[in-house]
Amino acid sequence: MTQCLQPIAMPLDEENPRMDAAALQSLMAAHQAELLCYARSLVRDEEEARDIVQEAFLRLWKKPPRPESLRAWLYQVCRSQAMDYWRRQKRRGSPVETENDPAFCWERQPDPEPHPGEALAQKDAEGNLLDQLAFLPERQQELLRLKFQAGLSYKEIAETTGLSVSNVGFLLHTAVAALRQRLHAIR
């Protein structure tokens, strides 16, 4: 099990009329792990990522969005909190790490008992992919995370990032083409 799947404890106030505790717990169970992975990939700090996700659920509890946009809204809140984190770091004069960490939350659970040769080949291919991912611009890395790690639709990614749906499609296409080209070059 990856570190991305560790639960986050969050106090609940059952008197809040906006959302009952059971509904919030259900939503946390459904979305917490993927949001934590996403937040960690943005801030590269476990505790800060946990705070970001907790803040997203706190905002959800206080003022829930429309149900059809809930998932994109949660990602948008996490992204906004991560941007605020980096702004605070910059104002404090803290060193802002610009080195990419492509393996952050991209770990995949292995298939139960794969053939040893297949497992080795798959691990090698994933390693190559993650190595090449680090060469993409941050924006493209983020869009790839949202699409393939989080499974968001183009529309949800657009809502999360503030880009147009067509721009999301173009940037994802460009990112995948660049990855494909880099992977073919190393073979």
In this chain, the answer to whether the domains covering 3-92 and 116-186 adopt an identical fold is no
For residue 185 the two structure tokens come to 């070059």
Pick the CATH number of 3-92 from 3.30.43, 1.10.1740, 1.20.120, 2.60.40: 1.10.1740
Residues in the chain: 187
Distance of CA 61 to the CA centre of its chain: 21
Residue 104: DSSP 8-state: T
Burial readout 145-167 (b: 16 or more C-beta within 10 A, e: otherwise): bbbebbebebebbbbbbebeeee
Spans of all domains in the chain? 3-92, 116-186
Alpha helix (H) ranges present in the chain? 21-43, 46-62, 70-92, 116-133, 138-144, 154-161, 165-186
Q: What is the pLDDT along the chain (187 residues), one digit of tens a residue?
A: 344 444 444 444 445 446 677 888 888 888 899 899 889 888 888 999 999 999 999 888 888 787 777 888 899 999 999 988 888 888 887 655 544 443 344 444 444 455 565 655 555 555 566 677 888 898 988 898 888 888 888 999 999 899 999 999 999 999 888 888 887 787 6
CATH class of 116-186: mainly alpha
For residue 75 the two structure tokens come to 């990602």
